[in-house]
Amino acid sequence: MAAETVSHEAINALTAQIKQQSEPFQRIVGQVNQVLVGQEQLVHRMLIGLLTGGHLLIEGVPGLAKTTAVANLAKAIDTGFQRLQFTPDLLPADLIGTLVYRPQDQTFVVQKGPIFSNLILADEINRAPAKVQSALLEAMQEGQVTIGSETFPLDEPFLVMATQNPVEQEGTYPLPEAQTDRFMLKVVVEYPTRDEELEILRRMSKTHTKFDVKAVTTPAEIMAARRLVDQVYVAENVENYIVDLVMATRTPQAYGLDLADLIQFGGSPRATINLALAAKANAFLSGRGYATPQDVKAIGLDVLRHRVIVTYEAEAEERTSEAIVQEILDRVQAP
């Protein structure tokens, strides 16, 4: 919505509509939280991915319920789900499908692969070689898959949630910058607190644990919610703030930040688009028809942390891209 064409009445009407349409997403949280303990941020980011069609890269050490979170989110939505275990011997055809020869009528027919679903869990994505990662790239970016000479559109909603383990590097293929830029958010999953760990112990330390996660929404409701997210009002000063944050990753000296020697590459225009979209989705989940600078700040680290490439000098000083992005978020003036 353009800033000059939106009245307070229109924003209030949109807010009332959003409060009603965001209710299924609260039900999703309730269902997923039957299983998960203390992963509120991960669940929230998955909902932002659903609302925007933005893909997620989820990073964390083993045993933090990354796979469980995605699998149970899929159960809470009446839609297709495929879990793909990425391994070094995986082939692109194992992902997207292939042409199969039928000798009885001497023709080739398309056999579609598991990518033809709605929610895709790409488990340990960095264990697959580059040719498999690039096959996933077309599906993520274009919403389509090419098999032979035919191109097939993927059903909406289509969302890839990829996990990677940061501690084991043997037998892994690091994701190139062009691939990580395709992920809207990179979510880092931390260890639970002591109280959360105690709750996990009490809930999970049984030989047979089963939770009845029910489907509480449909793809049609998700697509309707996406149309409302598109209408969320972003004021001109908030738009300028988003652009300033991304520009500060490219030319930090223009914003009084002494970071130029630490940043090799800043955020791309895709970062600007994703930051605006994620801020609008955050406002939607908060039941508002307008985005605020706080929405931008709340989601900024997850949008930018994988898009800022640090220099060797930064590595020598043990300055991570995450710390640099956090400094930019702290120091660039919000409206």
**Residues 31 and 72 sit within 8 Å (Cβ to Cβ):** yes
Give strand ranges (E) for 50-143. 56-59, 81-85, 97-102, 107-112, 119-123
What is the spatial distance between Cα 96 and Cα 117, in angstroms, rounded to a whole number?
11
CA distance linking residue 65 with residue 71, whole number of Å? 10
**How remote is the C-alpha of 31 from its chain's centroid?**
20
How much is the mean pLDDT over the chain?
87
The pLDDT value recorded for residue 10 is 87
User: Residue 92 in 3-state DSSP?
Assistant: helix
> Can you tell me the mean pLDDT for 83-96?
88
Q: Which residue has the tokens 């807010």?
A: 15
Residue with tokens 């409701």: 221
Please identify, in words, the CATH class of the domain defined by 232-335. Answer: mainly alpha
Q: Please enumerate in sequence order all residues whose Cβ is within 8 A of that of 170, keeping only pairs 6 or more positions apart, or say none.
A: none
Residue 2's pLDDT is what? Answer: 43
Nearest to 184 by CA among 282, 273, 115, 283: 273
Q: What gap in Å lies between CA 282 and CA 266, rounded to an integer?
A: 24
Check residue 214 and report its DSSP letter.
Answer: P
The domains of the chain are located at 31-218, 232-335
CATH topology of domain 31-218: Rossmann fold (3.40.50)
pTM, entire model: 0.88
pLDDT of residue 171: 59
114-139 pLDDT tens trace: 999 888 988 888 888 888 888 887 78
CA distance 1 to 263: 34
Highest mean pLDDT among 139-143, 211-215, 311-315: 311-315
Beta partners for 150? 147
Position 47 scores a pLDDT of 93
Share of the chain above pLDDT 70, in %: 96
Give the pLDDT band (50/70/90) at residue 167: low
Least confident of 40-49, 142-151, 248-257: 142-151
The torsion angles phi and psi of 237, rounded to 5 degrees, stand at: -70, -30
pLDDT in tens, 289-331: 999 999 999 999 999 999 999 889 988 988 899 999 999 999 9
